Structure 1
Amino acid sequence: MAGWDRAAAGAFAARLLAPGTAVVQYAITDSGVERRCRVDNTDTTERLGAEHDCVSCTLRADLALLTDAFDRLVVHLDPVLEPGPIARERRVDAVVTVVDVDTWLAAATGDDLLPDDERTVAQVVVGQVEAADALVLTGAPDARTTAVLDRLAAAVPRVPLAEAGPALLRAVRRGDEVDEVDEVFGPLLRGQPPLRPECGVGLTVFRERRPFDQDRLVDALDVLLDGVVRARGRVWVAGRPDEVLLLESAGGGVCVGPGGTWLAASDDWDAVSAERRARAALDWDPVWGDRVQELVILSHAADPEALTAAFTAALVQEEIAL
């Protein structure tokens, strides 16, 4: 269970107590990770030793122990944690994110940094929604927030906090295919989101074969810092034809990092999934192979034409030798 509003997430977690179930709440403090475990009407609090100075490692190690001790765990994460990495490590029935409808969109489009952390608040709250199998809403969202959630978490059920309880978990089950999705080469759109704009909210899909000029790409990234909720994609730049770069943005935070190797530059196709091999073969270009620029941009106050123009201008304008 995740959510920026600790109190709202805690209220929902408390409703899930049942015989054989432990509600485990993790809090990140200045001195490390604190775990509060509630079973029946008994609470115990323990400060956990850090595993390799890594919060995620600490939680994974602790959950491995608790999984053997209880029939079922309800894990309430600290607000700054995203559930995705932990859900991929353990067998999880469902990931539920509690959304404060009055503040979520502002947080998801802001540029506030987390204390002592390289991430922005936007990256966390957007990641929490993207990882969810169900959303619990603190109230009725406005039309723009609804439009954003429709596209960021398409087909994910939403339940008001006042009505949320154990029945939600019985109705929602996390499929194995969710955890098997390739983070780099998997689909950039989850589910089947609406493609028509609504309340100024829309999806822009940018796809091109030519490489980006590296300096112009850096300049183009500025267009993602204002009016954009989320951008994800795979890109490549001139002079580095082997490298897949993963581009991600949320609110006022943008990052570009290594994503592996294009199959056109690899001799070992057997090392990748059959799905990736099939997609590459179907979309193979005689010049560029499987190299392609693919970006999906979810905006709430940006001009889609300006987004497309910025990235088009960053492309190498003439054919270059690989």
Structure 2
Amino acid sequence: MPESRSSKPVSPQPLPGARHSRPVAVVTALDEVLRDALVASLLLDAEGLLALRYEVAEDSSALRRLVVAADGVREDELVDLAHPCVSCAMREDAVPTLARLAGLPEVTGILLAPPLSADPSIVAGTLRPHEDAWHLASAVALAAAGTASEDLLGDATLAERGLRWADGDARSVGEALAAQLEYSDVIVLSGEADGPGAELVEHLRAPEQRLLHDPFAVAVPDVLGGRLDHAAALRRRDARYVEPYGGPTDHGTWTLDLLCERPFHPGRLLANIEALGGGRLRGRGRFWVPDRPDSICQWDGAGGQVSIGAVWRTGAELPTTRLVVTGQDPEDLPRVRDAFARSLLTPQEWARGLAPWLGAEDPLAPWLGERDARV
């Protein structure tokens, strides 16, 4: 463990108007070593700081709860849950535990580390209504620059890595890591700062997200000195507001901003979906189809897996189709661009309006639901 950055540990300073509220940072990662390195470094640098860590207990519906301080483990218990899901774990155990720990006079802040692969938007969303003696100061996501390209764009699943939360968790590694990086207001990237992995992260992060290098160089105020903006974090993940961020291209990373007022042709979308979403890509966005003009559909893809669904209702105006796709293999760029163009209604089809689609067969119903279903 590297030496502390100061000779005297510091204490997090309370925010104005939150004098008695303890700051809590949600720390997520796929790599246990990286996460624990950051947590240990911060514990050694701050008086009164505790880590509340959860681990999945194998072959059980229980979670292992650990409370750790700079001088060692304070608590180590198995917690039985009614349902093995993120929201249940946070609601049933983390909420009362945070309240209990925040009530201890010697505690100045808490680092909450849910099990590896947890989605921080679910963790924070479940915790927010219960803020009182504590408040959410930040969401921190850790990743290794050396493996970021493979983790985000490769086809490995959480099950194959031994990282799934529970039986039935079919997410890809890329899907889980992208969710952590895109929600969090602080990203900590270890390893080479100018390699292909770091370049890819630059393309995926929004300008307002702080990017820090080296877990041991992260200071206590970086993670406990602010207030988590949950609405802004959710907006970054909202396909209705997707936009390209761009970034360096020294290692061949590219981002396509595919935007059109025309909808996808349902049949051609199905025919082109592998060309549009397959391979080593991270793609996000929204689309619509002419046989359900009242629905905005979400597109979310990583590592060759794509999920689509009718998520929102349109307003007074017709929606637009916009996909933002990032990759690093040069041959994928023209393939994706051309597949997007082929999937759209042609200008001639668009000129005929939506009337020809009334009552038409809906080949996307297995994925988007029946047309009369609420979205």
TM-score, scaled relative to structure 2: 0.72
Mapped pair 1:34 → 2:64: yes
CA drift at 1:142: 4.6
Matched with 2:325 is 297
Alignment of 1:122-141 (within 5 A): 122-141=174-193
SS in 2 for 1:92: strand
CA drift at 1:124: 0.9
CA–CA separation in structure 1 for the residues paired with 2:111 and 2:224: 13
Matched with 2:354 is 321
Alignment of 1:32-111 (within 5 A): 32=61, 33-39=63-69, 41=71, 42-71=73-102, 72-89=109-126, 90=128, 91-111=135-155
Contact 1:133 1:172 in 2 (8 A): no
Matched with 1:240 is 292
CA drift at 1:196: 7.0
Counterpart of 1:6 in structure 2: which amino acid? Answer: E
Contact 2:189 2:211 in 1 (8 A): no
Alignment of 1:163-202 (within 5 A): 163-169=217-223, 173-175=227-229, 177-179=231-233, 181=235, 183-184=237-238, 186-189=240-243, 193-194=245-246, 197-202=249-254
RMSD of aligned Cα (Å): 2.4
Alignment of 1:196-215 (within 5 A): 197-215=249-267
- The C-alpha deviation readout for 1:50-73, integer Å capped at 9, x for no partner, is 233423311233221122122332
Change in Cα spacing, 1:207 to 1:2, as seen in structure 2 (3 Å) is same
Contact 2:240 2:285 in 1 (8 A): no
1:2 corresponds, among 7, 24, 28, to: 28
The more displaced of 95-104 and 156-165 is 156-165
CA drift at 1:121: 0.9
2:279 corresponds, among 216, 226, 238, to: 226
Unaligned runs of 5+ in 2: 1-26, 103-108, 129-134, 160-166, 356-375
CA–CA separation in structure 2 for the residues paired with 1:55 and 1:132: 17
Change in Cα spacing, 1:105 to 1:214, as seen in structure 2 (3 Å) is same
Change in Cα spacing, 1:297 to 1:79, as seen in structure 2 (3 Å) is same
Counterpart of 1:160 in structure 2: which amino acid? Answer: D
SS in 2 for 1:248: strand
CA–CA separation in structure 1 for the residues paired with 2:195 and 2:158: 28
- The C-alpha deviation readout for 1:60-118, integer Å capped at 9, x for no partner, is 33221122122332111222212122123324211112212222211111112222422
- Which ranges of 4 or more aligned residues in structure 1 deviate by more than 4 Å? 170-173, 195-198
CA–CA separation in structure 2 for the residues paired with 1:129 and 1:58: 21
2:340 corresponds, among 304, 311, 322, to: 311
Contact 1:108 1:123 in 2 (8 A): yes
Counterpart of 2:300 in structure 1: which amino acid? Answer: E
CA drift at 1:185: 5.5
Unaligned runs of 5+ in 1: 265-288
Counterpart of 1:69 in structure 2: which amino acid? Answer: R
Counterpart of 2:86 in structure 1: which amino acid? Answer: V
Contact 2:86 2:118 in 1 (8 A): no
Q: When the two structures are aligned, how many residues end up with a matched partner? A: 295
CA drift at 1:221: 2.3
CA–CA separation in structure 1 for the residues paired with 2:143 and 2:339: 32
